[in-house]
Structure 1
Amino acid sequence: MNIEKYIDIIKNSYVGYWNYIQQEILLQTNWVNYFYGLILISLVVWVLEIIFPWRKNQSIFRKGFWLDIFYMFFNFFLLNLIVLIALSNTVAQFFNDALSVVGLTLNSFQLFEVNTLPKPISLLVFFVITDFVQWNIHKLLHKVNFLWSFHKVHHSIKEMGFAGHLRYHWMEPIVYKSLLYIPLAIIGGFNVEDVAIVHFSALTIGHLNHANLGWDYGFLKYVFNNPKMHIWHHSKTLPSKYGVNFGISLSIWDYIFKTNYIPSEGKNIELGFEGDEGFPKTFIEQELFPIQKKD
Structure 2
Amino acid sequence: MQKYLDIIKKSYSDYWNYLKYELIDLNHWDNFFYGLIAISFIVWVLEIAFPWRKQQAIFRKDFWLDTFYMFFNFFLLNLIVLIALSNTVSELFKDALSGVGLSISSIQLFDIDNMPKWLGLLIFFLVSDFVQWNTHRLLHRVPFLWNFHKVHHSVKEMGFAAHLRYHWMEPVVYKSLLYIPIALIGGFDAQDVAIVYFFSIAIGHLNHANLGWGYGVLKYIFNNPKMHIWHHAKGLPEHVRYGVNFGLTLSLWDYLFKTDFVPYDGRDIELGFDGDETFPKDFVSQELYPAFSRKRESNE
TM-score range, shorter chain: over 0.9
The aligned counterpart of 2:192 is 194
> Which of these residues, 87, 92, 95, is aligned with residue 93 of structure 2?
95
> Which of these residues, 225, 249, 252, is aligned with residue 227 of structure 1?
225
Q: Which amino acid aligns with 2:275?
A: G
The aligned counterpart of 2:251 is 251
Q: Structure 2: where are the runs of 5+ without partners? A: none
| Alpha-carbon distance change, 29 to 181 in structure 1, aligned in 2, over 3 angstroms | farther
The aligned counterpart of 1:291 is 291
Query: How far, CA to CA, are the matches of 2:179 and 2:232 in structure 1?
Result: 28
Query: How far, CA to CA, are the matches of 1:87 and 1:120 in structure 2?
Result: 30
The aligned counterpart of 2:140 is 142
Name the SS for the 2:271 alignment partner. coil
Q: CA deviation at 1:272?
A: 0.3
| Alpha-carbon distance change, 158 to 115 in structure 1, aligned in 2, over 3 angstroms | farther
**What are the superposed Cα offsets for residues 105-147 of structure 1, whole Å, 9 maximum, x if unpaired?**
2223211123422122222111111111100000000001110
Structure 1 consecutive aligned stretches of length 4 or more whose deviation exceeds 4 Å: none
The aligned counterpart of 2:2 is 4
Q: Which amino acid aligns with 2:105?
A: N
| Alpha-carbon distance change, 227 to 104 in structure 1, aligned in 2, over 3 angstroms | same
The aligned counterpart of 1:107 is 105
The aligned counterpart of 1:211 is 209
Name the SS for the 2:167 alignment partner. coil
- Structure 1-normalised TM-score? 0.97
> Which of these residues, 146, 166, 169, is aligned with residue 168 of structure 1?
166
The aligned counterpart of 2:39 is 41
The aligned counterpart of 2:48 is 50
Name the SS for the 1:153 alignment partner. helix
Q: CA deviation at 1:29?
A: 6.1
Do the aligned partners of 1:75 and 1:170 also contact (CA within 8 Å) in 2? yes
Do the aligned partners of 1:46 and 1:162 also contact (CA within 8 Å) in 2? yes
- Structure 2-normalised TM-score? 0.96
The aligned counterpart of 2:60 is 62
Q: CA deviation at 1:77?
A: 0.4
Q: CA deviation at 1:28?
A: 6.0
Q: Structure 1: where are the runs of 5+ without partners? A: none
Q: CA deviation at 1:220?
A: 0.7
Do the aligned partners of 1:114 and 1:126 also contact (CA within 8 Å) in 2? no
**What are the superposed Cα offsets for residues 230-253 of structure 1, whole Å, 9 maximum, x if unpaired?**
000000011212100000000010
Name the SS for the 1:111 alignment partner. coil
Query: How far, CA to CA, are the matches of 1:95 and 1:118 in structure 2?
Result: 28
The aligned counterpart of 1:280 is 280
Q: Which amino acid aligns with 2:280?
A: P
